[in-house]
């Protein structure tokens, strides 16, 4: 069975290779950048916070990047109830970038959301829709069912875990909720045929 955590690692890599974002320097100058390394983490809110905190303390060029980030929140429940697909699941994601507490919502919208987060979100939906590992055509769908919200409060008041611990630096983020996925059988079938023919 294909694991959703592994599948999303490759999805995030593909998003990073093809997305175009606009970087903003400390002086306010902007530059369009095609292809961006995106940090991918999966786990509970506490685990994601802990990993970001570890990277905040890192020194030198060997420390992996923190932002931009796509985090797959766990646990996620996989339902196996049909021979037409491996399993179906609803997942929650967070797409985040670094921010500043003193920024206004208007500044966040321009610098974080329009230049970084929304391009990543839109490219993620495009990559998911065209990924043959997923089945989107059930019921005639030509889109990825989900809800999304732009969260301006994380940057101003801090992102918190359920236990009340704050992430070590302010972020702006898009929350993607109840993203409905059916994982195709094709990969399992191909693997089975390949193994059987050996």
Task: Quick: pLDDT tens for 79-120.
Answer: 999 998 999 999 999 999 999 999 999 999 999 999 999 999
pTM: 0.87
**Tokens for 197?**
């023919």
User: What's the confidence (pLDDT) of residue 197?
Assistant: 47
pLDDT of 187 strictly over 60 = no
Sequence-ordered list of residues with C-beta below 8 angstroms from that of 42, at least 6 positions apart, any chain:
5, 8, 71, 72, 73, 74
Relative to beta strand 78-79, strand 87-98 is: antiparallel
The domain segmentation of the chain, as residue ranges, is 4-196
Higher pLDDT, 136 or 149: 149
Least Cα distance to 22 among 31, 9, 13 occurs for 31
* Residue 193: CB atoms within 10 Å: 9
d(CA 97, CA 68): 5
d(CA 133, CA 180): 14
d(CA 86, CA 175): 26
Question: 29-71 pLDDT, tens per residue?
Answer: 999 999 999 999 999 999 998 888 888 776 554 556 789 999 9
- Distance of alpha carbon 76 from the chain centroid: 14
User: What's the confidence (pLDDT) of residue 1?
Assistant: 85
Contact 20, 119 (CB under 8 A): yes
């Amino acid at each position: 069975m294909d694991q959703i955590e592994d599948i999303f690692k490759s999805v995030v890599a593909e998003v990073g290779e093809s997305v175009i974002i606009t970087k903003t320097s400390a002086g306010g100058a902007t530059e369009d950048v095609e292809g961006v390394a995106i940090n991918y983490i999966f786990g509970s809110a506490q685990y994601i916070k802990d990993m970001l905190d570890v990277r905040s303390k890192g020194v030198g060029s060997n420390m992996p990047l923190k932002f931009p980030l796509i985090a797959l929140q766990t646990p996620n429940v996989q339902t196996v109830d049909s021979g037409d697909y491996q399993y179906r699941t609803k997942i929650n994601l967070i797409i985040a970038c670094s921010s500043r507490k003193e920024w206004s919502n208007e500044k966040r919208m321009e610098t974080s959301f329009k230049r970084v987060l929304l391009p990543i979100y839109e490219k993620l939906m495009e990559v998911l829709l065209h990924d043959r590992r997923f089945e989107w055509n059930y019921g005639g769908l030509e889109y990825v069912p989900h809800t999304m919200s732009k969260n301006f409060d994380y940057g101003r008041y801090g992102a918190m875990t359920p236990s009340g611990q704050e992430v070590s630096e302010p972020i702006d983020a898009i929350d993607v909720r109840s993203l409905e996925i059916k994982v195709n059988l094709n990969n399992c079938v191909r693997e089975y045929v390949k193994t059987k023919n050996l």
